[in-house]
Amino acid sequence: MDVLLDVAGPVAVITLNRPAKLNAITPEMADALRACLDRVDADPAIRVAVLTGAGERSFCVGSDIRELDAYATPWEFRNRGDYGDAVRALRKPIVAAVNGYAYGGGLELAMACDIRLAATTATFAAPEIKLGWIGGSGQSALLAHSVGPGNAATMLLTGDPIDAARAKDWGLVTEVVPPDELLPAVRELAGKIAARPPIAAQTAKANLRAAYAMPLDQAIQYERDLQTVCMATADAAEGRAAFAARREPVFEGR
């Protein structure tokens, strides 16, 4: 199978499993990835997802270029099911474990995740310009938000890769670790997030996404509305009771 789903307790690990092709995504893989994400969203026992690539060389190098000529018309290409959209649509938190090349659509996949950790061997690039096109899954907007307009322009206009250390300096990733420590570090982070109340975690994610798109006054009001929703949950009542009793809370997603 070219996309694997491994669920261990509240954490689901989704692995792009085509290492011989650097985890380049075919239309069939995109469909399988969407199916995995749908399962993660639908299962209340799963609280956090992790996205990574198989092998030591590549996280994902985007779409398999050999498949692009299979679209009959530009309009069919325009309206294809986009795997970056599918990751961004996930309600639950998702962490990228970037183990190697994150190029093109693979860069977009990583940026579609909420948090990115990288191996020291990881590199990041928007190489589409070298082939005559640009990214199409939010690459420019997501890069500008992550690394700033000037750094984004450097990546978009040259197509050249940056290494993991520079990606961290620019804010594209939050942590860089040796390759053999990457998945343990990501699992530890995912476990920490999974221990938080799931409604509040999903609300925090939705609020952060909205903050990018709203004027400040609207963003603050939206945050206050979402806070009110969270305060009405059983988990928030449990949090207050546990604080008063000086015990660890038990959150059930209610």
Quote the pLDDT of residue 238: 86
- Tell me phi and psi for residue 83, to 5 degrees: -75, -30
Domain holding 63, by residue range, is: 3-194
152 and 43 fall within a common domain: yes
Residue 252 lies in a domain: no
95 and 173 fall within a common domain: yes
Residue 40 lies in a domain: yes
Q: What amino acid occupies position 102?
A: A
31 and 88 fall within a common domain: yes
Quote the pLDDT of residue 32: 96
**Active site (annotated) includes residue 128:** yes
Q: Residue 97 belongs to what H/E stretch?
A: strand 94-98
Q: Which tokens is 238 given?
A: 């449990």
Residue 81 lies in a domain: yes
pLDDT < 70 positions in the chain: 65, 67, 69-72, 79, 81
Quote the pLDDT of residue 137: 83
66 and 130 fall within a common domain: yes
Q: Of 194, 218, 235, which marks where a domain is finished?
A: 194
Give me the catalytic one of 28, 108, 175, 223: 108
Quote the pLDDT of residue 206: 93
Quote the pLDDT of residue 213: 86
Quote the pLDDT of residue 71: 67
**Active site (annotated) includes residue 223:** no
Q: How many domains does the chain have?
A: 2
Residue 253 lies in a domain: no
64 and 119 fall within a common domain: yes
The CATH number that applies at residue 127 is 3.90.226.10
Distance linking the first and last C-alpha atoms of the chain: 35
Q: The pTM is what?
A: 0.93
100 and 137 fall within a common domain: yes
Residue 250 lies in a domain: no
Quote the pLDDT of residue 79: 67
182 and 165 fall within a common domain: yes
124 and 16 fall within a common domain: yes
Give me the catalytic one of 76, 128, 181, 238: 128
Q: Cβ neighbours of residue 247 under 8 Å, at least 6 residues apart?
A: none
C-alpha separations of 249 from 43, 233, 235 in Å: 22, 14, 9
Residue 67 lies in a domain: yes
132 and 221 fall within a common domain: no
87 and 205 fall within a common domain: no
Q: What amino acid occupies position 144?
A: A
